[in-house]
């Protein structure tokens, strides 16, 4: 750390810091209230909050707004209910494929492939809306569960398949860690609201393959790309280093996300067997240390680079907002789990970095910076979706289990704890 850390008092127990988090969340959701599109979905916004041209309302962003606004509802932030109503109406209306089942990634192009990445976000949205008491949420959650069970879940591999044609034929041969990582997040939420422990057990199976086996073998760099037999494809997309979903190499932001989800699994009340999950805290610690210690200023400039090669050499030197948000959440989770003041230092450093370089005068986050820390738009122009930012403001103050919306509502997981 660049400066000594007062280990006797965490920012997370300081009233001024928690008040700042609360005010920042309110400002962010107020800015996002103007993103609801009359025909359904949410706009990509520019720095002034205006819809960006030539951008379609995306399924995963609409699902993320449902999740974010559900958190706002349970925290009592006025305006969040209208956002949640709009998101739910969009998911059950504009985006719903009533003929073939599932949801359209882009409702203006209904014949695009149906992606597991998008569908598990709908699962997170439905679970969050259930936690917020939305009347349409239970039926939506039942629909998501049916799609996952009947289409997306590969029982033999204990992993998610990647994508399908609209009629659920032509399963893609590619397999990705990213969809399974967000699947783990959704499964934690679904298990907590339904009380069905199999969702947490599925999450543990996914984490075991991707992290306990693959990432551990690569010195805590996560292989992101696989074939349909789950054989690694380390050279995949070498010529697309800035791909928004499948970039070449290792993505330190995903290491930080996985770390937090592993800690949530460790805290789960589900009977997944204590001996089976004893590795989770160790793996979470190693993933986060690797990402922050190797990734911070890896190219000589402050911040976290987007991707690195398998020897740790930076590939894409862009700085995206979301790895900073995920680092904040994970540092807080590791501090809560281990009590090690080392993580307090990272929590403070990441917030200082965010306040200096990413958060603008409106309280929104610049989505992307170039290697010189100037605003860029090579991958994600404009202002981001709110999911990662809301997480940074809310997750650090909540317990690791149950998932954040249920925790913020002050309710326990519906899964019966191990006795």
Catalytic residue IDs: 254, 388
Structure tokens at 191: 């298990």
Rounded CA-CA distance 126/88 in Å is 8
Rounded CA-CA distance 223/209 in Å is 11
Place of tokens 């958060």: 359
* Partners of residue 115 on adjacent β-strands: 163
Structure tokens at 10: 């965490």
Q: CA 416 → CA 203, 269, 272, 332, 404, distances in Å?
A: 17, 7, 12, 26, 18
3-state SS, residue 96? strand
Length of the chain: 419
> HSE on the CB side for 415, CA within 13 Å?
26
174 touches 230 (CB < 8 A): no
3-state SS, residue 261? helix
383 touches 47 (CB < 8 A): yes
327 touches 304 (CB < 8 A): yes
The DSSP line for 384-416 is PPSHHHHHHHHGGGS-SSS-HHHHHTT---SSP
Q: Where are the alpha helices (DSSP H) in 208-279?
A: 216-217, 252-267
Structure tokens at 390: 């809301």
Give the residue from 1, 2, 20, 24 showing the smallest Cα distance to 11.
Answer: 20
* Cβ-Cβ contacts under 8 Å for 405 (sequence gap 6 or more): 67, 70, 71, 74, 127, 128, 131, 132, 189
Cis peptide before 402, with omega less than 30 degrees from 0? yes
């Amino acid at each position: 750390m660049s400066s000594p850390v007062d280990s006797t008092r965490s920012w997370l127990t300081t009233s001024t810091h928690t008040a700042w988090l609360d005010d920042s969340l309110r400002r962010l959701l107020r800015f996002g209230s103007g993103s609801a599109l009359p025909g359904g979905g949410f706009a990509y916004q520019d720095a002034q909050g205006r819809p960006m041209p030539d951008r379609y309302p995306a399924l995963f962003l609409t699902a993320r707004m449902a999740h974010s606004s559900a958190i706002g509802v349970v925290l009592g932030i006025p305006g969040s209910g209208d956002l949640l109503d709009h998101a739910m109406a969009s998911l059950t209306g504009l985006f719903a494929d009533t003929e073939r089942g599932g949801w359209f990634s882009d409702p203006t192009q209904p014949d695009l492939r149906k992606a597991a990445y998008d569908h598990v976000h709908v699962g997170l949205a439905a679970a969050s809306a259930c936690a917020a008491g939305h009347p349409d949420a239970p039926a939506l959650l039942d629909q998501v569960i049916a799609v996952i069970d009947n289409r997306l879940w590969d029982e033999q591999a204990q992993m998610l398949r990647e994508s399908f044609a609209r009629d659920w034929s032509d399963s893609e041969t590619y397999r990705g860690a990213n969809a399974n990582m967000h699947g783990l997040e959704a499964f934690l939420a679904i298990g907590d609201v339904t009380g069905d422990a199999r969702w947490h057990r599925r999450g543990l199976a996914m984490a075991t393959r991707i992290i306990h086996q693959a990432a551990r073998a690569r010195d805590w760099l996560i292989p992101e790309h696989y074939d349909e037999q789950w054989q690694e494809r380390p050279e995949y997309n070498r010529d697309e280093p800035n791909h928004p979903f499948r970039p070449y190499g290792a993505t330190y932001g995903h290491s930080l996300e996985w770390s937090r989800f592993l800690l949530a699994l460790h805290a789960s009340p589900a009977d997944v067997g204590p001996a089976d999950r004893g590795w989770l805290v160790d793996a979470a610690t190693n993933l986060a240390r690797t990402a922050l210690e190797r990734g911070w200023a890896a190219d000589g400039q402050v911040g976290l680079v987007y991707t690195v090669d398998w020897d740790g050499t930076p590939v894409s030197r862009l700085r995206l907002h979301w790895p900073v948000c995920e680092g904040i959440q994970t540092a807080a989770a590791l501090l809560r789990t281990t009590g090690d003041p080392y993580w307090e230092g990272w929590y403070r450093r990441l917030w200082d970095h965010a306040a200096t370089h990413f958060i603008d005068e409106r309280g929104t986050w610049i989505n992307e910076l170039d290697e010189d820390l100037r605003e860029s738009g090579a991958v994600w122009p404009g202002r981001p979706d709110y999911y990662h930012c809301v997480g940074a403001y809310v997750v650090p103050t909540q317990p690791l289990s149950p998932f954040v919306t249920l925790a913020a509502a002050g309710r326990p997981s519906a899964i019966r704890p191990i006795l």
